[in-house]
Structure 1
Amino acid sequence: MIMGKREDAWREKLQIMTSYERPHWERGELVAGIDEAGRGPLAGPVVAACVIMPPNDLILGIDDSKKVSEKRREELYDIILKKAVDCSVSIVDNHVIDEINILNAARRAFENALCGLKTHPQHVYTDAMDIRTDIPCTPLIKGDARLYTIASASIVAKVTRDRIMREYDGQYPEYLFAKHKGYGTKAHYDAIRTYGILDIHRKTFLRKLLQND
């Protein structure tokens, strides 16, 4: 629980982070935010989440998922899913990433997450991603740090993907996926060189290693 001065600081931050949403909310419009996790790793999928948050009952502590501890992200994930008006997640696997490249795969995840909503929003904000939609849409650079709704989506996407990578860790413990989540750490590269490239690896991200084999 967030208390005292820290709570006051978070309430002030929420006022800033909802500055884009409030004009829509005041008109009775629903706002969707979309963000992804996993654009840079060497293994696993890219995951996008699209959420519509209620204008009232805001969640203290919502922030860009990269600024929140793993334990707190898990806690916020449950609260977001409980309070969200609607939430949709799209998972695009490494094979599609290799086929159409990571930018197009991320865009597909964004669009699929939006299409997965059961509730129709009047406006969509994305974290710097242009998408195809008939709904008015605004991409914002660093949107996950600037908008409450996108930050909420970033947490859902990050927790969803981290859970997938922990499942892979159970299948391939020698690769330490639970620790690095598929990113290109020294430990991950060392594991690839020792044990080989897995079916969940993004081959287009490992061209140099493949060329050296």
Structure 2
Amino acid sequence: MSINPQVLPIDTCIEHININGQYTSLAAPIKLTGQLYLPKLTAEYLSIAAQTKSLPTLQIGIDEAGRGPLLGSVHVAAAILPDIWSDLIENQPLRDTPLSILTDSKKLSEKKRDTLYPLVQQYALGYIIADIPAAIIDQLNILQATMLGMRLCTEGLLEAVASNVADVQTRQVEVLFDGNRCPELDYAKLAEFGLPSSAIDCQAWVKGDARHTSIAAASVLAKVSRDQTMYALDSKHPEYSITKHKGYPTKAHLQAIETHGVLSEHRRSFGPISRALASRALSGFTE
């Protein structure tokens, strides 16, 4: 297998982490995967600096998929688009580009999302995807698990950039999070990579996946990667028809849980699952 020296792969498994000053053992590993296109990233931002005579801004879009389902992991993704493509969707920065149909993944058909998924990976200057298992959702709650995923995607991508792209310490960073809040980053750790908190501007964008191309790109990565895990789970447990509901609490899904029981990938802290477990316990079933 050949290795492309221009591409830096990101492949990390996190089992312990500092959360609010406490060293925490996670209930299951968090997987982070992605890559950076080093020459493209370096050339673009150094070129912008030369043209504008000012410090270039590194813009990162962050989004998640899978907060509502009863089954499986929540996925979070971060994407760095080329500077000229990273803008408000209404300004049409993607016109006449391979990503011209990109918008909020929820507004795209599955076929269009599947078409865009490899294109975003190909044309983004860098991206990262976090898989946050159901066990961690149960450990932390869905909001905190999602915030942790957003934090890890941000830190993982920034640390990779800072470690491998020249003069990143001179850059300003804008991190655009879909939603109404930003995660609390480990600024002390980022400062060790030459990124002080003063250089990092975190912004919460309500419905940002329909407003900004970088967040929309992250939304496609998160949505399609999560769907892929659902298809893999469906092949292991076809009796649950996971491909049809992708873990959401449909009538068919709830009926499958009643008939076949709760899987290890179900979110036990979610009401329908905890009630199903209690009901089966009363009936003498064991999971």
Structure 1 or 2: more helix by fraction: 1
Deviating beyond 4 angstroms after TM superposition, the runs of 4 or more aligned structure 1 residues are: none
Task: Give the C-alpha shift of residue 116 in structure 1.
Answer: 2.0
SS at match of 1:136: strand
Task: Give the C-alpha shift of residue 188 in structure 1.
Answer: 0.5
- Tell me how far apart the structure 1 counterparts of residues 241 and 82 of structure 2 sit (CA, whole Å): 38
Q: What is the match of residue 119 of structure 1?
A: 161
Q: Does 1:43 find its partner at 2:71?
A: yes
Q: What is the match of residue 143 of structure 1?
A: 208
- Whether the 8 Å contact between 2:262 and 2:276 is mirrored in structure 1 is no
Q: What is the match of residue 122 of structure 2?
A: 82
- Tell me how far apart the structure 2 counterparts of residues 70 and 119 of structure 1 sit (CA, whole Å): 31
Deviates more, 1:76-85 or 1:53-62: 53-62
The residue correspondences of 1:1-150 to structure 2 (distance < 5 A) are 28-56=56-84, 58=94, 59-117=99-157, 118-119=160-161, 122-128=173-179, 129-133=181-185, 134=197, 135-150=200-215
- Tell me how far apart the structure 2 counterparts of residues 211 and 192 of structure 1 sit (CA, whole Å): 12
- Tell me how far apart the structure 1 counterparts of residues 84 and 211 of structure 2 sit (CA, whole Å): 18
Q: What is the match of residue 209 of structure 1?
A: 276
- Tell me how far apart the structure 2 counterparts of residues 30 and 115 of structure 1 sit (CA, whole Å): 13
- Tell me how far apart the structure 2 counterparts of residues 160 and 116 of structure 1 sit (CA, whole Å): 18
- Tell me how far apart the structure 1 counterparts of residues 79 and 131 of structure 2 sit (CA, whole Å): 15
SS at match of 1:56: helix
Q: What is the match of residue 33 of structure 2?
A: none
Normalization by structure 2: what TM-score? 0.63
SS at match of 2:57: coil
1:192 to 231, 238, 257: 257
- Tell me how far apart the structure 2 counterparts of residues 176 and 79 of structure 1 sit (CA, whole Å): 29
- Tell me how far apart the structure 2 counterparts of residues 123 and 177 of structure 1 sit (CA, whole Å): 37
What is the identity, as a one-letter code, of the residue corresponding to 1:65? S
Unaligned stretches of 5+ residues in structure 2: 1-51, 86-93, 163-171, 186-196, 281-287
SS at match of 1:108: helix
Task: Give the C-alpha shift of residue 204 in structure 1.
Answer: 1.0
Residues 64-115 of structure 1 show CA distances to partners (whole Å, capped at 9, x for unaligned) of 1111011110111111100101101111100010111000000011111112
- Tell me how far apart the structure 2 counterparts of residues 56 and 144 of structure 1 sit (CA, whole Å): 18
- Whether the 8 Å contact between 1:89 and 1:116 is mirrored in structure 2 is no
Aligned residues: 188
Normalization by structure 1: what TM-score? 0.84
Identity %: 41
- Whether the 8 Å contact between 1:48 and 1:157 is mirrored in structure 2 is yes
- Which structure would you say has the larger RCO, counting Cα contacts within 8 Å and 6 or more residues apart? 1
What is the identity, as a one-letter code, of the residue corresponding to 1:37? A
